[in-house]
Structure 1
Amino acid sequence: MEIRHLHYFMAVCEELHFTKAAEKLGISQPTLSQQIRVLEDEVGMPLFDRIGKKIVLTEAGSVLLSYGTEILDTLQNVKDAIKDLQNMKSGHIRIGIMPSDLDYRITQLVIDFHQKFPKVKLKIMSSIEIVRQVLENEVDIGIGINVLPNDRLVTIPLCREEYVLTVSKEHPMANRVSINIADLKNLPVIMYPEGFLGCKIVEETVKKHGFQLNCVLETSSITSIINLVKANIGATVQPYPLIKEMNDPTLHIIHIQDDAPSRSLSIIYRVDRYVSQATKALIEQIEVYFQG
């Protein structure tokens, strides 16, 4: 089986359309159809069912898709490893990180890494689905939150961060240093929408104490949340290091004394992924940055 045949097959799987796949590959549709027939003759079974203008994978096609993905991933790892040997300080790294941490936490980390490895291109992508991104090879490494055990992932624990109540200096509770978890009951708060991990962590904690958050506004942007808090529309509950990093004198931090919500941060990457020297250096720097 030739690698180019496998690339042709994968392109058809992605598009489920021979003409579109041919355009993507830069070859003619008849040529692509002929090459797929050669591959089908080699495996001895049809790979696609052709239903009018639509095509679907056969059972044999599904098997080849599964193993073909692994083969091409392995081939890419080989290429990356050889390239890494040729020039250990070049290349590119894709990182997945939560939007709030991207906006406020890692600027200095990126600056420090770029100064050490100016030839390495970093592509930093914000996401609330970091585990999925890593597993689907959309990013090389991720900084995940409360990552569950997964035999397809390498997980490197970073730190545990407690959440705090954050209010404006004009808020009625701005004279408080600490509160109990029960003090959050009925307090107007501004949080992420339902389904966002940052909201889920806090909601699950207060639920154990028999109440729900009184969300008066929801937004997916941490910048919007903070601006609304500063306008004294309500309070918010966010990770302490995140608010501390903002260093905003118009905000007041109130610690939660008993059973404060918390999150655990970890570096994650696929167990079958080649880790370049530059990526190893970045991982080490992330560990020092978050654990320091």
Structure 2
Amino acid sequence: MNINKLQTFITLTECLNFTEAAERLYCSQPSVSMQVQSIEEDLGVPLFDRIGKKLYLTKQGEAFKPYAEQIINLLHTAKDHIRQLEDLSYGTLSFGASNFVGVYLLPKLLRDYSRSFPDIKINMNITSSSALTHLLESNKVEFLIISDRVMVDESRYQRKTFYQDELVLVVPPLHPLASKTSCTFEDLVDETLIIKPDKSATRSYLEEEFKELGFSPPKYLEISNLEGIKQGVIHELGVAMISSFAIEQEVKHGLLVKVPIEGVTFKRGICYVYHRSKHLSPATKRFLALLDDKYSANASY
């Protein structure tokens, strides 16, 4: 079994059509068929079911696909790393990030990194926590930057917190609480809390904190996107607990008002995660060092 055969297999799983796979790979349809058949013979199991003119992955094919992806991605990563050992004028910084991290926390830092290493291609994948862990497991990204509330297997992955993010209560400018210097949970008993849906790491964290504090929001309005939540508050659909970092511009321009909750602070760690056994590329090592240097004081806050 060789790399070309694995690439052919992966391409065919994506389109499930021999003709299209051949076009993508710039080879003949019989060649695609022969390479897939060779892998099936090596493994001793069928990877595809051929029913009429349609193609379907078998259970064995579904199980084999992530391993094939890991092998291909690992080879590409190794080639990048070797070339980057000479200098950082080549390669890719490839990582996954949660919505808050990718949209608000990292852009300025990525700008500085890009100016220092203009020939390094930056590939940041912003998606859900569950999708991010899959990207890491399949070697599609080198590392993740996520909330420390996202569970990872720390026997397999190295995790380091580099930033402490504070979640604050925000209300629209004409809200009764907007004129107060602070409030209590009793002031929120009739409010609608705009929050991300279930399975969100931020929501899980807030609900755990609320439970410990004996507070149960009477009404929820679920919005899956942080920008959507901010707009919901601006348009008086409710109040929300949002990262202080993410609402700087709206507070500055008077679109939102921060209201401290007496005696309570909500903080979550932002961390980077990578395989313990993984050899990080020079490009990634430089970027993580930049993260540590910029946010070292905040992380120990």
Partners of 2:169 and 2:140 in 1: how far apart?
34
Structure 1, gaps ≥5 residues long:
none
Q: Is the 8 A contact 1:96 1:139 kept in 2?
A: yes
Change (3 A) 1:168 1:86: same
1:256 aligned counterpart, secondary structure? coil
2:259 aligned counterpart, secondary structure? strand
- Counterparts of 1:230-249 in structure 2, within 5 Å, are 230-244=234-248, 247-249=251-253
The structure 2 residue matched to 1:266, chosen from 255, 262, 271, is: 271
Partners of 1:155 and 1:28 in 2: how far apart?
46
- Counterparts of 1:142-153 in structure 2, within 5 Å, are 142-145=144-147, 146-150=149-153, 151-153=155-157
Alpha-carbon shift at residue 266 of structure 1 (Å)? 0.8
> Which residue of the partner structure matches residue 295 of structure 2?
290
> Which residue of the partner structure matches residue 33 of structure 1?
33
Partners of 2:249 and 2:289 in 1: how far apart?
21
Q: Is the 8 A contact 1:88 1:277 kept in 2?
A: yes
Q: Is the 8 A contact 2:158 2:275 kept in 1?
A: yes
Q: Is the 8 A contact 1:191 1:218 kept in 2?
A: yes
2:108 aligned counterpart, secondary structure? helix
Change (3 A) 1:289 1:42: same
Give the share of equivalent positions with the same residue, in percent. Answer: 27
How many residues in Structure 1 have an aligned counterpart in Structure 2? Answer: 290
Partners of 1:49 and 1:77 in 2: how far apart?
32
Q: Residue type matched to 1:131 in 2? A: T
Partners of 2:228 and 2:289 in 1: how far apart?
32
1:161 aligned counterpart, secondary structure? strand
Q: Residue type matched to 2:68 in 1? A: G
Alpha-carbon shift at residue 49 of structure 1 (Å)? 4.4
Change (3 A) 1:64 1:200: closer
- Counterparts of 1:206-221 in structure 2, within 5 Å, are 206-208=210-212, 209=214, 211-215=216-220, 217-221=221-225
Partners of 1:79 and 1:93 in 2: how far apart?
13
Most deviating of 68-77 and 118-127: 68-77
1:204 aligns with 2:208: yes
TM-score (norm 2): 0.79
Q: Is the 8 A contact 1:201 1:262 kept in 2?
A: no
> Which residue of the partner structure matches residue 57 of structure 1?
58
Change (3 A) 1:191 1:37: closer
> Which residue of the partner structure matches residue 180 of structure 1?
184
> Which residue of the partner structure matches residue 81 of structure 1?
81
> Which residue of the partner structure matches residue 157 of structure 1?
161
Partners of 1:22 and 1:224 in 2: how far apart?
42
Alpha-carbon shift at residue 199 of structure 1 (Å)? 3.3
2:242 aligned counterpart, secondary structure? strand
Change (3 A) 1:138 1:66: closer
Q: Residue type matched to 1:255 in 2? A: P
Tell me the C-alpha RMSD between the 2 structures.
3.1
1:19 aligned counterpart, secondary structure? helix
1:134 aligns with 2:136: yes
Deviation readout 1:192-224 (Å, 9 max, x if unpaired) = 344433334323332442523523x54334334
Q: Is the 8 A contact 1:89 1:277 kept in 2?
A: no
The structure 2 residue matched to 1:279, chosen from 262, 284, 290, is: 284
TM-score (norm 1): 0.81
Alpha-carbon shift at residue 267 of structure 1 (Å)? 0.7
> Which residue of the partner structure matches residue 125 of structure 2?
125
Q: Is the 8 A contact 2:88 2:120 kept in 1?
A: no
